[in-house]
Amino acid sequence: MSGIIDADLFAALLRISTPVLLVAMGGLFSMRAKLFNFSIEGYMLVGCFFSILVVDKTGNLWFGLLGGAFAGLIFSIVYGFAVIHLKANAIIASVGMNLLGVGLTTFLLRPIFNTSGAYRPPNMEAFPVVNIPIIKDIPFIGDVISGHTPLVYFGLLLVIVCQLLMYKTPLGLAIQSVGDNPEAARTAGINPKKILWLTVLWGGFFSGLGGAHLATGYVTAFSQEMTAGRGFTAFTAIVFGAENPFLTFLATLVFGFADALGIRLEIQGFGLHPSLIKTFPFILAVLVLTISSAIRMRKMKSAKQIL
Amino acid sequence: MIKEIYSKLPAKILDPIKSILRQVLLILLSIAITSILIWIMGYSPLAVFDGLSNGITKDFPGTLRWTTPLILSGLAIAVAFKTGAWNLGVDGQLYMGALAATAVSLGLSTLPGVLLFPITVLAGIIAGMLWALLAGILRTQYGANDLVSSLLLTYVAYHFSDYLIHGPLKSGAYGPAESSNIIPETVWLPKIIEGSSVTIGLIVAIVLAVVLYFLIFRTTLGYELKVVGSNLWFSRYGGIKVKAVYLKGMAISGAISGLIGVIEILGVHHRFPIRFSSGLGFDGIVVSLLASNNPLGVIISGLFFGALRNGSYNIERLTEIPRAMVIIVQAIIVLMVGMQVIIKFKKQKKDKQSSNDDQSKETEELNTFNTNGSEG
Amino acid sequence: MDYVIEMKSINKTFPGVMANNDVSLNIIPGEIHALVGENGAGKTTLMNILYGLHQQDSGEIFVQGKKETINTPSDAIKLGIGMVHQHFMLVPELTVLENIILGRENTKFGFTDYKTSEKEILGISEKYQLNVNLHDRTYKLSVGQMQRVEILKSLYRGAKLLILDEPTAVLIPQETKQLFDILRTLTNQGCSVVFISHKLKEVLEISNRITVMRQGKVTGVVNTKETNELELACLMVGREVVFRVKKELATPGETVLEVRNLCALNDRGLPALKNINFNIRLGEILGVAGVEGNGQLELVETLTGLRAATHGSIVFKGENIEQCTPREKREKGVSHIPADRLIMGINTKCTISENLILNKYYRVPLSRHGVFNKDNIKTFVNRLVSEYGIITPDPNSLASSLSGGNMQKLVLARELDGEPELLVASQPTRGVDVGAIEYIHSQIIKMRDQKHAVLLVSAELDEILCLADRIIVMYEGEITGEFHSTDIPEHEIGLYMAGSKRMSVAQVN
């Protein structure tokens, strides 16, 4: 196994986890406000598409990232309107948004890029790499931590920001109270609708950014339904982390590890079929979901005789 | 005059007519929105209507071919939603059903047809059922959210099927590209329209819809499914075995999903082509929602989406307008049903804002029980 | 004279109900103003309008003589209005401090500045003698403490007028005394208080003036000193009130239920029942008194099979039934009116008829081999609807269309049909109108007179005293007292409810 688990693997882990991490940090707040929001998969896909579109038109990767993030933000307005104002069921609305994401991006491929299936902008460049002084010279740790694209560091920073936002600011307190007892929040002078809107838009923006990063920084192309359930993995990470940003971050790392390890095994030809390896992260996600739910259930240990 | 007749009609006839009119309005609205987008992108704004009429008039067998799986997946979702089971994994379950049917028929191909056929069908149904039950049991035993797990298991099924058709279900390099070997002819479904892909599967789907209608509205099991699906506390209080009923609902849903896989393989493809379903499972959500989870309504809405889907294939061939326009129409329908656009509009006229806030709060609470599901 | 608050001709309609009909109310500075009336008289609606949770259809509100529009609670808060709701508006997972400052935090560099707020709150709590530990998680507090947190919350927001909605409903008599002391301190410091209640004795004790409401209208405004219980009751109900239901002396028969050393856990997995012992005989009503949350809910659920007993036995008609499922218990003759009508007693998404058949749907004649017999169901449902006077145009309409009282009649019809030997009734009259209360009480007494047994759990001590033949008192999962007569002063029972007095094991058994 020594050939498999090395510094490169952990470096790859950070790289692979970043898109999912960004999406998870996006979706976390609306989940904490008890909106069952798994439309983040849809925002992510829209983010992928529009980031590639912007890169194609401007040739600038950074504009691409912003384009993807804002596309996700605009897309999430539809969801917010449906769920917050028209009181649509959050699950049904999420299904609708995800379908809309798939439909729109697949449809637009033809009229905009005049192709179907996939599109890679001809002027696509790679993101610059950040070499952190001093750290980069430390053996192993330097190889793992240094030398990533700026978005990887941004993702890590975002975890800290989210943690502070959730637990150290009035806004975080408001989000928690809206989730646990919206009536109490309302009587305390908080406008729950406003809070829910903030969390939905935040989710749209960062899920879009996560998608944009996936398309521009990782796959360097757009292909039909390219998110392939990554948004759902992010969603699972949020459920696992009980909406705590740091725990959610850990969960994304676990899924990223399964992914990175799978790719590693595939490259080294361990006799496992690549498609079989691709099931790993999802099986792991199901296991993690089950275990975390079981622990939570035992904690609350309902003494009720469940029939 | 018309009003007079209208007011004399009994509610039994009037209510279904009203709800059908409401849904037609909803469909028209969704198509209108999509058409605007299509028009902006420089295509003919009537593309969706063209597709629909094309699907119905020029290629009706093609429409029926799609209607079959759409009715079934609508039924799978309808049963699940009635039970309060968020089975969003119909797609995965139909893949497992299709895989099992393909594997069994290839593996036991030497058996005579009379034996092989029932075994193949049964294998597919059971595989779909087990895949659904897996998500169900994870919820009843460990409190894992069924929506998330059924969705994740779908991706497992996708990749697992990719693996099988690249390896074990294909003998050497001779098999067809990107699909399994061709299954023995003895298990192929008999066609009811020659020269098309319409098989007895269509009859099975319609009969099943009627059976489920009877099950839901006329039997104690149907009552239990509905009660458990709408209020877990009330069910427990009434002595209903909540977990068992929930699992029954999941099992029926999964079995129907498995059957879709069987009919697609045995009736249409005669082999397992890679990722053949193209989202049939998610279409079921739309089909069922539009029919308000009523099994008989599912037949009609299945036919509608069958025509739409079939038409979109033809339109794409003829005009290059991407058939994904259908997905957009479906998405908008889901969103509008979710928002209850038309019903809410009427209600708001009647009573402005008021105390229906309390009611929606209460339903929300019940919904959270359903989705968090530590109660199972 | 300047009023703190003046509400003029307030009208408010909900679908089908005129909640407030030309209602006017004014509050003098420094007074405790009681707002009394039956459930559903429109008191809470009026106060919710004042607090910005509802908007009036017409009418005007003046605060300190100035006309104001109050659209949201934050508008009300800015005008110095604070409200303590009947169901506390606290977030259980947050700390007391977080709950108090929620929505009005001090910040430092954008982060919440807990230190400054804490100092501020300690100042207030000292001034008004409101002691709570600011760092406790709120769900750990007792009801009385939560109420203090709610009052602190309002004062922290600068409330000059405090609205208290049924504040004593959840308190034991001793806690009520403490609350009244707090209210007097508040008014001495210049605050005004609106005190919503339907308990006339308390109102007469604490208030300066009283506004009485009935069916959305004001029926009288009186000075407390110049009125009495009877006059208020007449204004409230609009007719002479029977303060006690008439009933004969009980003639209990043989023991039907015997509970021995029963233990069970609550939802958090902590002991909720600790060695409970009691029995009920046929033909008697056993009342369970106690402040809510002292194990009554768990007791009811364990008896009816919804919760597992961790220890002990339940003997019903000579048979051990602690292992039985809810359905088995029902079939043996244990019936259950649950406390939470809208969640457990009624399925609001099902029809009235579907609600009524819950206990019998799986048996002949309603169904055979799993298939329903439509005609038999129709007969069955029609019989129950007429027998129990459930008012509905069509039994196939949704149960959510029924009024509170009719919903409870539906539950009663379902649970009493088939003559169960033991009725476990939990908060049977909560939130229903007077007419329905009288009806439910008479049905419960009828059950007893027909030689059935009734276990009555109620948070309303009055209800227990009025109906029960024998009373046990629960405190923290234990039975602290048992009374064989109901002729005991409330204060005495209050001591047992508070746990400050308890009988020895020998006495209880």
pLDDT of the residue at C508: 58
Residue A257 or residue A70, greater confidence: A70
Q: Backbone phi, then psi, for B355, in 5-degree steps?
A: -85, 0
pLDDT surpasses 90 at B13: no
List the single best residue of B161, B335, B358 to mutate versus A (max A Cβ within 10 A).
B335
Using an 8 Å CB-CB cutoff, list chain C residues near A303.
264-267, 269, 272, 307-308, 310
Q: C73, A187: Cβ pair inside 8 Å? A: yes
Query: Does residue B7 lie within any of the structural domains?
Result: no
Q: Terminus-to-terminus CA distance in chain B, angstroms?
A: 53
Query: Does residue B65 lie within any of the structural domains?
Result: yes
Provide the CA C89 distance to its chain's centre, in angstroms. Answer: 15
Query: Are B30 and B333 in contact, with CB atoms under 8 Å apart?
Result: yes
pLDDT surpasses 50 at B367: no
Query: Does residue B21 lie within any of the structural domains?
Result: yes
Interface check B60 vs C, CB under 8 A: no
Where does residue C78 rank: exposed (0-12), middle (13-18), buried (19+ CB within 10 A)? middle
Instruction: List, in sequence order, every beta strand (DSSP E) within C303-396.
Output: 311-316, 319-320, 334-337, 367-368, 371-372
Using an 8 Å CB-CB cutoff, list chain A residues near C89.
181, 183-184, 187-188
**For chain B, what is the total number of helices (H) and then of strands (E)?**
16, 0
Query: Does residue B363 lie within any of the structural domains?
Result: no
Token pair of C424 as six digits: 């476990």
Nearest CA of chain C to the CA of B236: how many Å?
Answer: 7
Q: Backbone phi, then psi, for B28, in 5-degree steps?
A: -60, -40
Residue B93 or residue B165, greater confidence: B93
User: Which residues are C12's β-sheet partners?
Assistant: C20
pLDDT surpasses 50 at B139: yes
Interface check C188 vs A, CB under 8 A: no
Query: Are C83 and C35 in contact, with CB atoms under 8 Å apart?
Result: no
Provide the CA A263 distance to its chain's centre, in angstroms. Answer: 20
> Which residue of chain A has the CA closest to C105?
A170
Interface check A290 vs B, CB under 8 A: yes
User: Which residues are C111's β-sheet partners?
Assistant: C108
Alpha helices in B167-294 (DSSP H): 201-218, 220-230, 232-237, 242-263, 280-290
pLDDT surpasses 50 at A138: yes
Task: Select the residue of A169, A177, A303 nearest C91 (Cβ to Cβ).
Answer: A177
Q: What average pLDDT is seen over chain B?
A: 84
The conformation of residue B373, written as its DSSP 8-state character, comes to: -
Q: B322, A107: Cβ pair inside 8 Å? A: yes
Q: Could you tell me which of C475, C486, C430, C457 has the C-alpha nearest to residue C169?
A: C430
Nearest CA of chain B to the CA of A129: how many Å?
Answer: 33
Interface check C105 vs A, CB under 8 A: yes
| CATH number for B127 | 1.10.3470
pLDDT of the residue at B264: 95
Interface check B3 vs C, CB under 8 A: no
Q: How many angstroms separate the Cα of B340 from the Cα of each of B19, B23, C432?
A: 12, 10, 32
Q: Find residues 3-42 of chain A whose CB sits inside 8 Å of chain B.
A: 34, 36, 38
Q: How many CB atoms lie within 10 A of CB B251?
A: 19
Query: Does residue B362 lie within any of the structural domains?
Result: no
Q: Terminus-to-terminus CA distance in chain A, angstroms?
A: 46
pLDDT surpasses 70 at B144: yes
Interface check C92 vs A, CB under 8 A: yes
pLDDT surpasses 70 at B89: yes
Q: How many CB atoms lie within 10 A of CB C446?
A: 12
Query: Does residue B181 lie within any of the structural domains?
Result: yes
Specify the number of domains making up chain B.
1
Q: Where in the sequence is the domain holding B183, given as residue range(s)?
A: 13-350
Using an 8 Å CB-CB cutoff, list chain B residues near A89.
338, 367
Nearest CA of chain C to the CA of B140: how many Å?
Answer: 17
pLDDT surpasses 70 at B372: no
pLDDT surpasses 60 at B345: no
Q: A286, B153: Cβ pair inside 8 Å? A: yes
Task: Select the residue of B218, B237, B355 nearest C326 (Cβ to Cβ).
Answer: B237
Q: How many CB atoms lie within 10 A of CB B168?
A: 13
Taking the complete model, does pTM exceed 0.95, yes or no? no
pLDDT of the residue at C240: 54
pLDDT surpasses 70 at B343: no
In tens, the pLDDT along A69-113 reads: 999 999 999 999 999 988 888 888 999 999 999 999 999 998 888
Q: What is the DSSP string of A101-162?
A: HHHHHHHHIIIIIS-SSEE--TT--PPP-BPPTTGGGSTTHHHHHSSB-HHHHHHHHHHHHH
Q: B162, A275: Cβ pair inside 8 Å? A: yes
Q: Find residues 371-400 of chain C whose CB sits inside 8 Å of chain B.
A: 371-372, 400
Using an 8 Å CB-CB cutoff, list chain A residues near B144.
286, 289-290, 293-294
Q: Could you tell me which of A35, A304, C265 has the C-alpha nearest to residue B376?
A: A304
Q: B149, A91: Cβ pair inside 8 Å? A: no
In tens, the pLDDT along B101-125 reads: 999 999 998 999 899 999 999 999 9
Using an 8 Å CB-CB cutoff, list chain C residues near B227.
347, 350, 354, 358
Using an 8 Å CB-CB cutoff, list chain C residues near B351.
14-15
Strands C32-37 and C58-63: unpaired
Nearest CA of chain A to the CA of C322: how many Å?
Answer: 11
Query: Does residue B6 lie within any of the structural domains?
Result: no
pLDDT of the residue at B22: 84
pLDDT surpasses 90 at B254: yes
Looking at this protein, which amino acid is placed at residue A228? Answer: A
Using an 8 Å CB-CB cutoff, list chain A residues near C295.
none
Q: C326, B236: Cβ pair inside 8 Å? A: yes
Query: Does residue B356 lie within any of the structural domains?
Result: no
Nearest CA of chain C to the CA of B376: how many Å?
Answer: 14
Q: Could you tell me which of A215, A236, A277 has the C-alpha nearest to residue A18?
A: A215
Q: C343, B227: Cβ pair inside 8 Å? A: no
Using an 8 Å CB-CB cutoff, list chain C residues near B237.
304, 306, 326, 336, 338, 344-345
- Helices B60-82 & B295-319 angle (0-180, nearest 10): 140
Alpha helices in B320-355 (DSSP H): 325-339, 341-351
Residues in chain A: 307
Distance in angstroms (rounded) separating the CA atoms of residues C220 and B235? 46
Q: Would residue B192 be called left, alpha or beta, if left means φ above 0 and alpha means ψ between -120 and 50 degrees? A: alpha
Distance in angstroms (rounded) separating the CA atoms of residues C203 and C184? 13
pLDDT surpasses 90 at B218: yes
Q: Find residues 432-491 of chain C whose CB sits inside 8 Å of chain A.
A: none
Instruction: List, in sequence order, every beta strand (DSSP E) within chain A.
Output: 118-119, 222-223
Q: Would residue C318 be called left, alpha or beta, if left means φ above 0 and alpha means ψ between -120 and 50 degrees? A: left
List the single best residue of C77, C89, C149, C325 to mutate versus A (max A Cβ within 10 A).
C89
Token pair of C463 as six digits: 């209800």
> Which residue of chain A has the CA closest to B34?
A104
Nearest CA of chain A to the CA of B323: how many Å?
Answer: 7
Distance in angstroms (rounded) separating the CA atoms of residues B216 and A236? 33
Query: Are B247 and B137 in contact, with CB atoms under 8 Å apart?
Result: yes
Helix (H, G, I), strand (E, B) or coil at C74: helix
- Helices B201-218 & B242-263 angle (0-180, nearest 10): 170
Touching A (3+ Cβ pairs <8 A), the chains are B, C
Q: Could you tell me which of B87, B99, B71 has the C-alpha nearest to residue B160?
A: B99
In tens, the pLDDT along A197-251 reads: 999 999 999 999 999 999 998 888 899 889 888 998 899 889 888 899 999 999 9
pLDDT of the residue at A132: 80
Using an 8 Å CB-CB cutoff, list chain B residues near C367.
219-220
Interface check B233 vs C, CB under 8 A: yes
- SS3 of C221-290: the string is EEEHHHCCHHHHHHHHHCCCCCCCCCCCCCCCCCEEEEEEEEEEECCCCCEEEEEEEEEEECCCEEEEEC
Using an 8 Å CB-CB cutoff, list chain A residues near B375.
302, 306
Touching B (3+ Cβ pairs <8 A), the chains are A, C
Interface check C89 vs B, CB under 8 A: no
Provide the CA A254 distance to its chain's centre, in angstroms. Answer: 14
pLDDT of the residue at C505: 60
Q: Walk along chain C (509 residues) and give the pLDDT tens digit of each residue.
A: 578 899 999 999 876 678 898 999 999 999 999 998 877 788 888 999 999 989 999 999 999 888 999 998 889 999 999 999 888 889 988 999 999 999 888 888 888 889 999 999 999 888 888 888 899 888 888 788 888 999 999 999 888 999 999 888 778 777 888 899 999 999 998 899 999 987 788 889 999 999 999 888 899 899 999 988 878 878 887 665 555 567 777 788 899 999 999 999 887 778 899 999 999 999 999 999 987 778 999 999 999 999 989 999 999 999 999 889 999 999 999 999 998 888 889 998 899 999 999 999 999 899 999 999 999 999 999 999 999 888 888 888 888 888 777 888 999 999 999 889 999 999 898 777 667 788 889 899 999 999 999 999 988 788 888 889 999 999 889 999 898 877 788 778 888 887 777 877 655 55
Q: C371, B218: Cβ pair inside 8 Å? A: yes
pLDDT of the residue at A77: 95
In tens, the pLDDT along C221-248 reads: 999 999 888 788 788 876 655 555 677 7
Nearest CA of chain C to the CA of B14: how many Å?
Answer: 16
Query: Are C311 and C318 in contact, with CB atoms under 8 Å apart?
Result: no
User: Which residues are C258's β-sheet partners?
Assistant: C279, C315
Interface check A187 vs B, CB under 8 A: no
pLDDT surpasses 60 at A304: no
